[in-house]
Amino acid sequence: MKSSILISAGLLFSIPGTLAAPAPKFRQPRAIALASKPANGTVKAKNKLEFYSIMLESNETRSWNDFFGDMGYNHTDLEEMKHTLDFRSFGCEKTFRSFGMMMTAEEVEDMGNIEGVALVQKPFVYTSPEMPPWDETDVVIHDFLAPQNVSLHGRQLNQQVPLGQPKKQTNTVWGLQRISSSQPVRPVGKGPKEFGYQYTYSSQEGSGVDVYVLDGGLNQHQEFGQRGKRLWSYWAKDENDDTGHGTHCAGTIGGLYVGAAKNANIWGVKILKKGASYGDSLTNGIEEVLASHVKRRTDPEFRGSVINLSVGKMGPDPFQRAVLQRASKAGVHIVVAASNYGTDACKYTPAMYARELPIISVGAMDIRDQRRPDSNFGPCVTIFAPGTDIMSANSRDPKGYIPKSGTSMAAPLVAGMVADLLSKKPEFKENPQGLKNYLVQTGFPNVVKDARGPAPLANNGFQN
């Protein structure tokens, strides 16, 4: 019998000759469902195969061999799946385990009744829309490593100051100036797209912190040097950033010249293709981050893990809520975009869960301290940050920069700030709720015009 299954958080590496009898029984007529297709080409709804994500209970301790054996899979079935399908392991048994599977409606009902199964859900599609979309006419080539620039930026970025003392960078982007000052930004030159602003930051700025950019990929750029690496892709042989969204976000998080956390480790996790998630790519991406986080805990130089998630969808998603909750409990700090629909952020996942989970939802504002008209608002927005005409890394040119706008650009700025805080405040290392509270308390209230909610403006601790 053939079946379609993706297994995460563990593999059927060794399969015993005999497995336990199914209890309860799980119907497995997938091959029959396809073989019984009517002559007119249609398939009855109850026999239609669709992909579902299944999450196990946190206290489920059976091995994958035993779990699938209890579902009724025998040795031959498992061997067929092992050799003909793409199995994936994420090594997160201490956090959560899940797998994806093609099932009929009848099988979904059966699966929900199996002991140890917490959730069964068809995955939703998440997107990362730009506001407005890509415009090549705005691309700027700026070689920060050119001789005429090395001296200035080298002096700024490598100032010999005592650990924890402030550094100053000039000729950077307006968003960095706004998060390091109590005063509004006065536009210079060409306005928000100009490299003519000043950033005040601490000398640690992200040291020892891993920031995972769950997006459309990460391409190399002069902003990253050796700190930007690709961790994982849902499409194993396709790690390229095909829209530029992920690379742009990464530059804002930890770019050397346009980023908020210039010493952080930047990891690209590709969960989107052409701007949209596929199947359980989002869940698998978070599982991969958790596996890395668990391994990094033993490193004495490790200061914390941060996820940037500049994606969203309308309506609730119980499965992703559970994933986010378990990741937070494992000590991972999660920053999400509030989404770009100019309405209540509580209508969109993942932002809607910011009221009940220790995740940080970010709204977007412009250089005039005005909330962007398309930025969502309300009690599910934790904090505001610059998100209009944000110049950052262009995925198509390692020396290119391009402006993008939206909450997708505001969230990475806050993710970089979180990395900065983790490098300075070890008490928040695996305390997402504590850091979230601190971020809100140190922000500037009543600054963002038309905020339509209590969220303050993000600030990194400097008030020049």
Alpha carbon 206 to chain centroid, angstroms: 17
* Phi, psi of 189, rounded to the nearest 5 degrees: 50, -120
Please report, for residues 341, 397, 412, the alpha-carbon distance to residue 357 in angstroms, rounded to integers and kept in the order given: 22, 38, 19
Catalytic pick among 392, 408, 420, 423:
408
Max alpha carbon distance in the chain (Å)?
Answer: 77
* Sequence-ordered list of residues with C-beta below 8 angstroms from that of 22, at least 6 positions apart, any chain: 69, 70, 71, 72
In this structure, the chain runs to a length of 464
Torsion of CA 389, 289, 399, 170, to 10 degrees: 60
| DSSP designation for 240 | -
Ranges of beta strands (E only) in 216-355 are 228-233, 265-270, 272-273, 276-277, 304-309, 313-314, 333-337, 348-349
Is-contact 369 337, C-beta < 8 A? no
Residue with tokens 């006419």: 137
| DSSP designation for 68 | H
| DSSP symbols for 100-164 | EEEE-HHHHHHHHTSTTEEEEEPPPP-B---SS---GGG-EE--TTSHHHHHHHHHHHT----TT
CB environment 59-97: b (16+ within 10 A), e (fewer): eeeeebbebbbbbbbbeebbeebeeeeebbbbbbbebbb
Catalytic pick among 110, 215, 366, 389:
215
Active site residue 215: yes
| DSSP symbols for 406-453 | SHHHHHHHHHHHHHHHHHH-GGGTT-HHHHHHHHHHTSBTT-SBT--S
Alpha carbon 102 to chain centroid, angstroms: 26
* Sequence-ordered list of residues with C-beta below 8 angstroms from that of 283, at least 6 positions apart, any chain: 8, 53, 98, 123, 319, 320, 323
Active site residue 110: no
Active site residue 66: no
Tokens (6 digits) for 442:
């140190």
Helix (H, G, I), strand (E, B) or coil at 313: strand
Is-contact 317 349, C-beta < 8 A? yes
Question: Measured between alpha carbons, how far is 210 from 264 in angstroms, rounded to an integer?
Answer: 6
Is-contact 121 26, C-beta < 8 A? no
Catalytic pick among 245, 248, 293, 333:
245
Question: Measured between alpha carbons, how far is 457 from 279 in angstroms, rounded to an integer?
Answer: 35
Question: Measured between alpha carbons, how far is 66 from 183 in angstroms, rounded to an integer?
Answer: 61
Active site residues: 215, 245, 408
